Amino acid sequence: MLAVFVVVIVLVSQTAARYTANWTSLDARPLPAWYDEAKVGVFVHWGVFSVPGFGSEWFWWHWQGQQPPDQKCVSYMSKNYPPGFSYPEFAPQFHAQFYNPGDWADIFKASGAKYVVLTAKHHEGFTNWGSPNSWNWNSVDTGPHRDLVGDLGEAVRNRSLHYGLYNSLYEWFNPLYLADKKNGFKTQQFVMHKLLPELYNMVVRYRPDLIWSDGDWEAPDTYWNSTEFLAWLYNDSPVKDTVVTNDRWGAGCACKHGGYYNCADKYTPGQLPKHKWEKCTSVDMLSWGYRRNMKMSELMDLPAIIEDLVRTVALGGNYLLNVGPTPDGMIPPVFEERLRGVGAWLKMNGEAIYASKPWRVQTENTTVPVWYTSKGTTVYAIMTAKPPKLTLQLLGPKTSAATKVTLLGNPNPLPWAPVHPSAGLTVLLPQLPYSPGQAWTLKLDGIQ
């Protein structure tokens, strides 16, 4: 009777747990478990910026925002477009005529990713869905005439992938935002009449599993009403139990407040952080959005991607790898090839990645660079280069008589010998199989 009573109290107090609109309260929310287990996601930057496809997704700002403007963008426009051509005139050329969300979702699924994050709205302010708060500057009123966000969501979820939405808080050229900025962010016209109504609507309509917030840094979180929004998101929204957020909720929030931490774009810590984090990075090293003039030498190759992924996961992070589709709605085949390569590598080595935890030791470089992950009492040692000889020395693990070593993808136990009585082992490797990512995983049982 008492036990039943206690259980009831625990259940009631759990369902009643509510968050208050302050960081102490919001930061204490446990991250929904799916996120840490997922480890790998695909990031998709798509918008009107994909039409010029020049420089980066920041094209509009570099061309007409920053002072002085980027001369490459200015001369590109004056050489190739009529005088007076304005950025919004790119929108009707955002046709997305080959956009098949099922094809995209098949590629994302084949990459081994467990979640997908699409730009619902980037800094240009154009929404890839029919936002009633973005009149004539959204993908239903102009350009594709289609709900790009909703259609991808259906296809992605149909393949059992989680669906996240990127949302920029600020909009470079929104007159309401510029007015608030002029007032030193003492007024909130933009936040009350544009940002928040749109953001609440987006959450209710698409029920994202993840909100990848961005564009926060010019103003404090109090200007954006971030804590009020997050308290609603965690307490009363339709995704309150599943949604995950990042840390871009106002100047000074990065690496400090919110859900998981991105810190900075492409940030990688040097050692194991205390807080869950995510590395976002892009196959095209120079841009997140599609660039029509990208070159092979500017792309990450597959071994570099796998090394980066392995390092990130060993250090407790998630890896969010970006591709930029064309304005026609195609994932450039070179990006598709990279994503399928990641999937091929994960097919053999995913046991060491998905739902893994960081180990006691994160890395060593005795024979070749090795990154460790763990699952229960099993430890995985991932080599990100081919050892020069068919032996590998590891100094981190402490062996015992019960120690067993195998190579993922090969059922036979491998011979090994201790280096010292208490620590380290030398493993005799088999002929290493072809690995698309040039990384191989040893599975170690019975070690400490």
Q: Whose Cβ is closer to ligand NAG: residue 87's or residue 108's?
A: 108
Q: How far apart are CA 396 and CA 448, in angstroms?
A: 9
Token pair listed for 422: 């208490």
Residues in the site for ligand NAG, rule: CB under 6 A? 20, 22, 24-25, 158, 160, 196, 225, 228, 365, 369
Q: Whose Cβ is closer to ligand NAG: residue 36's or residue 228's?
A: 228
Q: Whose Cβ is closer to ligand NAG: residue 57's or residue 171's?
A: 171
Q: Whose Cβ is closer to ligand NAG: residue 119's or residue 225's?
A: 225
DSSP category for residue 86: -
How many other C-beta atoms are found inside a 10 Å radius of the C-beta of residue 11?
10
Q: Whose Cβ is closer to ligand NAG: residue 73's or residue 370's?
A: 370
CB 285 within 8 A of CB 275: no
Q: How far is the CB of 359 from ligand NAG (least distance, A)?
A: 17
DSSP β-ladder status, 115-121 and 357-364:
unpaired
CB 188 within 8 A of CB 180: yes
DSSP β-ladder status, 370-375 and 416-418:
unpaired
For the chain, the maximum distance between any two Cα atoms, rounded to a whole number of angstroms, is: 81
Q: Whose Cβ is closer to ligand NAG: residue 45's or residue 194's?
A: 194
Q: Whose Cβ is closer to ligand NAG: residue 376's or residue 388's?
A: 388
Q: How far apart are CA 274 and CA 447, in angstroms?
A: 24
Q: Whose Cβ is closer to ligand NAG: residue 149's or residue 196's?
A: 196
Q: Give the helix, strand, coil percentages of the chain, each rounded to 5.
A: 35, 20, 45
How many other C-beta atoms are found inside a 10 Å radius of the C-beta of residue 73?
21
Q: Which residues are registered as beta bridge partners of 245?
A: 211
Token pair listed for 316: 């407790």
Q: How far is the CB of 29 from ligand NAG (least distance, A)?
A: 12
What are the strands of the beta sheet with 416-418, ordered from one edge?
391-394, 425-428, 416-418
Contacts of 113 (CB under 8 A, 6+ apart): 38, 40, 41, 42, 161, 321, 339, 342
Q: How far apart are CA 282 and CA 205, in angstroms?
A: 28
Residue type, 220: P
Q: How far apart are CA 281 and CA 287, in angstroms?
A: 10
Q: How far is the CB of 337 from ligand NAG (least distance, A)?
A: 25
Q: How far is the CB of 174 from ligand NAG (least distance, A)?
A: 17
Q: Whose Cβ is closer to ligand NAG: residue 284's or residue 307's?
A: 307
Three-state SS annotation for 198-224: HHHHHHHHHCCCEEEEECCCCCCHHHH
Q: Whose Cβ is closer to ligand NAG: residue 48's or residue 155's?
A: 155
Q: How far is the CB of 193 from ligand NAG (least distance, A)?
A: 10
Q: How far is the CB of 263 from ligand NAG (least distance, A)?
A: 21
Three-state DSSP class for 152?
A: helix
Q: How far is the CB of 72 from ligand NAG (least distance, A)?
A: 35
Q: How far is the CB of 196 from ligand NAG (least distance, A)?
A: 5
55-72 burial: b if 16+ Cβ within 10 Å, else e: bbbbbbbbbbeeeeebee
Q: Whose Cβ is closer to ligand NAG: residue 65's or residue 369's?
A: 369
CA Rg value for the chain: 24
Q: How far apart are CA 381 and CA 58, in angstroms?
A: 40
Q: How far is the CB of 364 from ligand NAG (least distance, A)?
A: 9
